[in-house]
Amino acid sequence: MYKAPRGMSDILPPEQPLWKYVKEKAASVCDLYGYQPLNTPVIEDAGLFTHAVAGGTDIVDKEMYIFKDRGGQELALRPEGTAPVCRAYLEHGLFNLPQPVKLYYIGASFRYERPQAGRYRQHHQFGFEAIGDASPFLDAEIIEMAQRFLLSLGLRDFSIHLNSIGCRTCRPGYVSALKRYYASFEGELCPDCKARLERNPLRLLDCKKRHCQEIAEAAPRTTAFLCPDCLAHFESLQECLNILKTPFLLNHRLVRGLDYYTRTVFEVQPQEETSQGALGGGGRYDDLIEALGAKPTAGVGFAAGIERLISNLREQQVNVPPSPHITVFLASLGAEARKESLKLASVLRGAEIATMESAGNKSLKSQLKQANARGSSYTVILGEEEMKSRTAMLRDMKSGEQRLVPLSQVVATLRQTRALERGQSPGDT
RNA sequence: GUGAGUGUAGCCCAGUGGUUAAGGCGCCAGGUUGUGGCCCUGGAGAUCGUGGGUUCAAAUCCCAUCACUCACCCCA
């Protein structure tokens, strides 16, 4: 039998309400802040990621789905969302709009890696980006927005970690200081860290091994090496967050996986220390658009993993409000009633009443059982007796009460009850 | 890419060398000539992940392989 590809999964109907809930909250927070939706293709020119974005990081070096199409074009399944958004910003001349341009996206990302808890080959990200302005006020807006989004979902146990990793002026000084510091500990480092010392020194800071953590704790801090502009930016951002009353933790060991970050980096961590890592993260990427071959343009953004959000919603037992829908099930007995049921179903649907029909000639018992299993509010029973008198038996599935209604009155009666029930329990969505 | 654990029906799982692989959920039917949710009865549904080996005999032991899960690397 065929199975879904490794690390990729089907999202079955019972899970859909939760997905819908998260997507709706995402869209509504974006509306609130004036961020507009943008869809980009799942596939991009591979170069967008390999050259411009993050050469030297694992995510493009060894985790990218990359292939040639029939025309020989090198394409890639997108491993992240920011670069495609920047590509679209440039391709469509969005730099001609008033800056910054505020956009959001919800879509699949792909990484070729061994799946485990909270980590998949296909996962879904919700992200928002403000492009075209370097003000720290925007960093603050993005972070507050991320927080508001998570709170609106009902999540509580998370914290926002914040750091600044400087810019291309001040970071090289920091990196060499870091290397100098680590040189004296080289013998004590774990094998992974020894490799990191060469390949990606910043990553030394977030090693999980206890001894390496002790060394990292005492290491030089990025913030001590920031150039005056970066320092001013970072201080201004913190001031803004304090004004916004958005709590954050300064974490001098926070660095992020993508190379394009400059200055601000932040991550949302669940309170429970899990190995599956961050709920989401983001930062400023003032060099990215220049790397794509355009004039230098600042940007800042955030992205969250929907699967991880959902798993945290489940852990924190946040209950999703069920969509209050009233549905009707049509049960019929006999050939004539079956045809009448077909006709009635069409009329009900025409009246915007959600309706399901029994497919075959099953017993009434079986049909009611099905109506019950599908959670119908009402069952309309059409039998031989009803056919003779041109009536229908309307059964309230909750109370079990039923009454005989002229066939011509079925729609009107159901509409009435629906209006009544909606009035009694106003929807909260 | 590395390491560990696990593969028995749609789902949860019992069964550690010996008849026909047990149970629960779910599904279908009956108990009610046209009445769901509870209860009772019955039924369908499993090449025991796959291939090979050991043995008179393998779901059970061995080897390989695949898949899943968890962890590392890394990340959402």
pLDDT at A387: 95
A410: pLDDT strictly greater than 50: yes
Q: Measure, in angstroms, how far nucleotide B33 C1' is from residue A351 CA.
A: 35
pLDDT at A209: 83
A171: pLDDT strictly greater than 60: yes
pLDDT band for position A323 (50/70/90)?
Answer: low
Q: Measure, in angstroms, how far nucleotide B66 C1' is from residue A3 CA.
A: 13
The β-bridge partners of A127 are: A105, A303
Domain A13-170+226-315 falls under CATH 2.70.70.10: no
Highest mean pLDDT range out of A96-105, A165-174, A216-225, A267-276? A96-105
pLDDT band for position A58 (50/70/90)?
Answer: confident
pLDDT at A241: 97
Instruction: Encode pLDDT of A235-245 as tens digits.
Output: 999 999 999 99
Q: What's the average model confidence in pLDDT over A336-353?
A: 94
The β-bridge partners of A110 are: A122
d(CA A92, CA A336): 60
pLDDT at A185: 86
A161: pLDDT strictly greater than 90: yes
A421: pLDDT strictly greater than 80: no
Q: Which nucleotide is nearest to A124 (CA to C1')?
A: B76
Percentages helix, strand, coil for chain A, rounded to the nearest 5? 45, 20, 35
Distances (CA, A) of A307 to A7, A270, A279: 12, 14, 9
Distances (CA, A) of A262 to A46, A105, A134: 23, 22, 11
Inter-residue contact A421 to A326 (CB < 8 Å)? yes
Bigger pLDDT: A2 or A104? Answer: A104
Bigger pLDDT: A53 or A252? Answer: A252
Residue nearest to nucleotide B26 (CA to C1'): A373
CATH superfamily of A327-424: Anticodon-binding domain (3.40.50.800)
Q: Measure, in angstroms, how far nucleotide B74 C1' is from residue A96 CA.
A: 38
d(CA A57, CA A390): 73
d(CA A267, CA A302): 9
A208: pLDDT strictly greater than 50: yes
The b/e string for A367-386 (b: 16+ C-beta within 10 A; e otherwise) is bbebbeeeebbbbbbbbeeb
Comma-separated ranges of CATH 3.40.50.800 domains in chain A: 327-424
Residue nearest to nucleotide B74 (CA to C1'): A58
Q: Measure, in angstroms, how far nucleotide B20 C1' is from residue A366 CA.
A: 33
d(CA A334, CA A360): 10
Q: Which nucleotide is nearest to A256 (CA to C1')?
A: B75
Inter-residue contact A222 to A205 (CB < 8 Å)? no
Q: Quick one: tokens of A377?
A: 């509010």
Instruction: Encode pLDDT of A267-321 as tens digits.
Output: 999 977 666 779 999 999 999 999 999 999 999 999 999 999 999 998 888 888 7
d(CA A198, CA A214): 20
Mean pLDDT taken over chain A: 90
A253: pLDDT strictly greater than 60: yes
Comma-separated ranges of CATH 3.30.930.10 domains in chain A: 13-170+226-315
Range of lowest pLDDT (A44-53, A222-231, A301-310) = A44-53
Q: Measure, in angstroms, how far nucleotide B17 C1' is from residue A5 CA.
A: 37
Q: What's the average model confidence in pLDDT over A200-209?
A: 85
Q: What's the average model confidence in pLDDT over A54-61?
A: 69
pLDDT at A54: 62
pLDDT band for position A195 (50/70/90)?
Answer: confident
- Asked if omega into A100 is within 30° of 0 (cis), the reply is yes
Q: Which nucleotide is nearest to A279 (CA to C1')?
A: B76
Crossing angle between the packed helical segments A136-153 and A16-33, to the nearest 10 degrees: 150
Nearest to A163 by CA among A90, A91, A83, A226: A226
Q: Measure, in angstroms, how far nucleotide B26 C1' is from residue A352 CA.
A: 32
Run of H or E including A319? none
Distances (CA, A) of A358 to A365, A367, A411: 12, 6, 18
Cross-sheet strand order for the sheet of A402-406: A354-357, A327-332, A378-382, A391-396, A402-406
Cross-sheet strand order for the sheet of A43-45: A43-45, A74-77, A66-68
Instruction: Encode pLDDT of A1-36 as tens digits.
Output: 788 899 999 998 888 989 999 999 999 999 999 999
A55: pLDDT strictly greater than 70: no
Strand B bases near protein CB (under 7 Å) are 1-3, 26-30, 32, 34-37, 67-76
d(CA A123, CA A157): 22
Query: Hey, CA dihedral for A138, A140, A142, A148, is it positive or negative?
Result: negative
Q: Which residue has the tokens 């993005």?
A: A142
Residue nearest to nucleotide B69 (CA to C1'): A116
Instruction: Encode pLDDT of A69-96 as tens digits.
Output: 999 999 999 999 999 999 999 999 999 9
A207: pLDDT strictly greater than 80: yes
pLDDT at A427: 39
